[in-house]
Amino acid sequence: MAQLIAEVSRTFNEFLLLPNRTRTDCSAATVDLSTPLSRYTADEAPAVELRSPFTSAIMQAVSTPDLAIALARNGGLSFLHHNQPVEDQAAAVRRVKNGAGAGPSEGDGRHPGRLVDAAGRLRVGAGINTHDYRERVPALLEAGVDALCFDSSDGYSDWQAQALTWVKKHHPEIPVGGGNVVDGEAFTFLAEAGADFVKVGVGGGSICITRDQKGIGRGQASAVLDVAAARDAFRERTGAYVPICSDGGLVHDYHVALALAMGADFVMMGRFFARFDQAAGAKVATRDGFVKEYWGEGSNRARNWQRYGQGGRELVFEEGVDGFVPYAGDLTEGLALTVAKLRTTMVSCGSTTLPEFRSTARLTLVSDQSFQESHANVDLRTTPATAS
Ligand code: IMP
């Protein structure tokens, strides 16, 4: 008989954080946003540590070399998409490592929070798949990639475990993530197969219609809470801490704070980054202002060969849509605003580090009525009606 999970599947909009006591030494300036990207133990530090808990989605519409450069300059990491020939993806990695990201421009103090390798070059990640990893991984390593991540809408599979085992056996030095998963059982499966981090989220993405089409997925808050508990249990049992990433469905800035409070070590976002100049989508003028194109990897437009099946024929059905997001200008300015909000939330919750934030956070469920109360409840029109 099918197993029925009694808990309701919940998402970020259903929660709020309670303020905790804020000590005098806790201020936006003292908040440290650094966080491990990859597995570590008491004896071994993580191979890569982010300076800011943001990564950009493994998507054609999002993670271009330009965006990777801009994000690494702000302490985060992009995963360049893999829906392109191996040599093109390797060239994109080189462009970040050796192009605009290298030399005088990175050392001149303009980007003090930048994420760099031991040689002072910007860090960059790359998406990989369970089909051609034997060729793709060595080429990406040769190009200087800093981290890899398997890209799958359902990572709880023998294929992914076999591929993870192969990468860890042949290239143990490179951090490699697995996913996506939505429960503790699947997390433990991938962690045991060697994943250095695990991505969480099925069906919550802004361009995603997986739940409508296949009936598969889980509310992102429930998924993160469940997987975070499994990560902590795995560390208890093995001594290895395997970070988790909350991927997709972060619509409002405060959702980032909620994901991190619920246990995510870092977040991955598509829609958020697709709005910026550096993302791939065209900027389009509309009557209401500018928008940028943003399409899912499971949409027909993506022509994602992984999902397309043999011969590049049309998809049997789509799992993603092709749409638009509001244009938001330059990444550095847009991300700074989101980071400022995150720091302020952490201060209200009395935390100066992300581990402290998630271990002390107090979350409450909100009713429909209290959700209404959260929004402005005045008339926001600025032009008074003329007297008759
Ligand atoms: P967003 O930040 O809400 O836009 O979600 C981005 C995430 O959605 C990505 O990191 C992927 O995990 C996921 N995703 C990307 N393309 C598709 C698709 O076509 N269908 C379903 N999920 C997708």
Q: What domains can you pick out in the chain, each with its CATH number?
A: 33-281 (3.20.20.70)
Reported as a single tens digit per residue, the pLDDT across 101-154 is: 444 855 667 888 999 999 999 999 999 999 999 999 999 999 999 999 999 999
For residue 252, the model assigns a pLDDT of 96
For residue 102, the model assigns a pLDDT of 46
Q: Any idea what DSSP says for residue 104? A: G
Q: Answer yes or no: are the C-beta atoms of 200 and 224 closer than 8 Å.
A: yes
The tokens for 166 are: 């192969």
The tokens for 242 are: 């395997």
- Atom of ligand 1 minimally distant from the CA of 151: 12
Q: Which of 317, 331, 289, 352 is nearest to 28 (CA)?
A: 352
Reported as a single tens digit per residue, the pLDDT across 281-340 is: 999 999 999 999 999 999 988 877 665 554 555 678 888 999 999 999 999 999 999 999
Given the residues 149, 208, 245, 349, select the one marked as catalytic.
Answer: 208
Residue indicated by tokens 């029109």: 381
d(CA 246, ligand 1 centre) in Å: 12
Q: Which of 260, 287, 275 is nearest to 349 (CA)?
A: 260
Is 349 noted as a catalytic residue in this protein?
no
Beta carbon of 26 within 6 Å of any ligand 1 atom: no
For residue 318, the model assigns a pLDDT of 87
- For 175-187, the three-class secondary structure string (H helix, E strand, C coil) is CEEEEEECCHHHH
Beta carbon of 59 within 6 Å of any ligand 1 atom: yes
Q: Which of 63, 27, 11 is nearest to 259 (CA)?
A: 11
d(CA 82, ligand 1 centre) in Å: 14
d(CA 207, ligand 1 centre) in Å: 6
Span 76-86, average pLDDT? 96
Entry pTM:
0.95
- Atom of ligand 1 minimally distant from the CA of 298: 19
Beta carbon of 208 within 6 Å of any ligand 1 atom: yes
Ligand 1 pocket: which of 11, 71, 153 to mutate (most atoms within 8 A of CB): 153
Beta carbon of 179 within 6 Å of any ligand 1 atom: no
Q: Answer yes or no: are the C-beta atoms of 35 and 115 closer than 8 Å.
A: no
Residue 89 Ramachandran class (φ > 0 left, ψ -120 to 50 alpha, else beta): alpha
Residue 282, φ and ψ in degrees, nearest 5: -70, 145
Is 136 noted as a catalytic residue in this protein?
no
For residue 375, the model assigns a pLDDT of 81
Instruction: Compute the distance between CA of residue 175 and CA of residue 81 in angstroms, rounded to an integer.
Output: 17
Q: Which of 86-100, 226-240, 247-261 has the lowest mean pLDDT?
A: 86-100
Reported as a single tens digit per residue, the pLDDT across 161-187 is: 999 999 999 999 999 999 999 999 999
Q: Any idea what DSSP says for residue 103? A: G
User: Which residues contact residue 388 at a Cβ distance below 8 angstroms, ignoring those fewer than 6 apart?
Assistant: none
Instruction: Compute the distance between CA of residue 53 and CA of residue 292 in angstroms, rounded to an integer.
Output: 24
d(CA 147, ligand 1 centre) in Å: 20
Q: Answer yes or no: are the C-beta atoms of 26 and 350 closer than 8 Å.
A: yes
Given the residues 73, 95, 121, 307, select the one marked as catalytic.
Answer: 307
C-alpha count within 13 angstroms, C-beta hemisphere, residue 280: 18
Reported as a single tens digit per residue, the pLDDT across 274-283 is: 999 999 999 9
Q: What is the mean pLDDT of the chain?
A: 93
